[in-house]
């Protein structure tokens, strides 16, 4: 079992920055691949970013490429999403996700078996 708790969401003006955090517990953190997804009202859940167990490999969705950085701290059992140059279309609930599976594309939600409760990010124009 893995428990995930997100924090750091809020209201920010367009062009601003936010750092989301996700605290993980319940299983050796270094055995989990981690990801961030988002979901806006009326839309499907969208892949944002993912990171390998060691942190050596990082993956980004097209809509955030160049504006977001994912990182992890395997000592503190934390994963972070730094978002810059935020746009109103980035408004969504952001979810932290963990994959304890040994295969599966990190770009799809089906590869993750644990999810946080989400944190709201609202970008005003």
pLDDT along the chain (125 residues), means of 10: 95 97 91 96 96 96 96 97 97 97 90 97 97
pLDDT value at position 104? 86
The answer to whether the Cα torsion of 35, 96, 94, 14 is positive or negative is negative
Q: CB–CB of 1/75 below 8 Å?
A: no
pLDDT value at position 102? 82
User: How many CA atoms does the CB half-sphere of 94 hold within 13 Å?
Assistant: 31
pLDDT value at position 26? 85
pLDDT value at position 28? 86
Backbone phi and psi for residue 111, each to the nearest 5 degrees, phi listed first: -85, -5
The pair of three-digit structure tokens given for residue 15, joined into one six-digit string: 């062009």
Interatomic CA distance for residues 45 and 27, integer angstroms = 25
DSSP E strands: which ranges in 1-125?
3-7, 10-13, 18-25, 33-39, 46-51, 58-60, 68-73, 78-83, 92-99, 114-115, 119-124
pLDDT value at position 60? 98
pLDDT value at position 103? 83
């Amino acid at each position: 079992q893995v428990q995930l708790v997100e924090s750091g969401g809020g209201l920010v003006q367009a062009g601003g920055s936010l750092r989301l955090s996700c605290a993980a517990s319940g299983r050796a953190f270094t055995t989990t691949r981690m990801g961030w997804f988002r979901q806006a009202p009326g839309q499907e859940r969208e892949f944002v970013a993912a990171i390998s167990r060691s942190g050596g490999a990082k993956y980004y969705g097209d809509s955030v490429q160049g504006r977001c950085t994912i990182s992890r701290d395997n000592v503190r059992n934390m994963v972070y999403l730094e978002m810059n140059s935020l746009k109103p279309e980035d408004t969504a609930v952001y979810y932290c996700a963990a994959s304890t599976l040994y295969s599966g594309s990190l770009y799809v939600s089906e590869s993750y078996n644990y999810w946080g409760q989400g944190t709201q990010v609202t970008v005003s124009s």
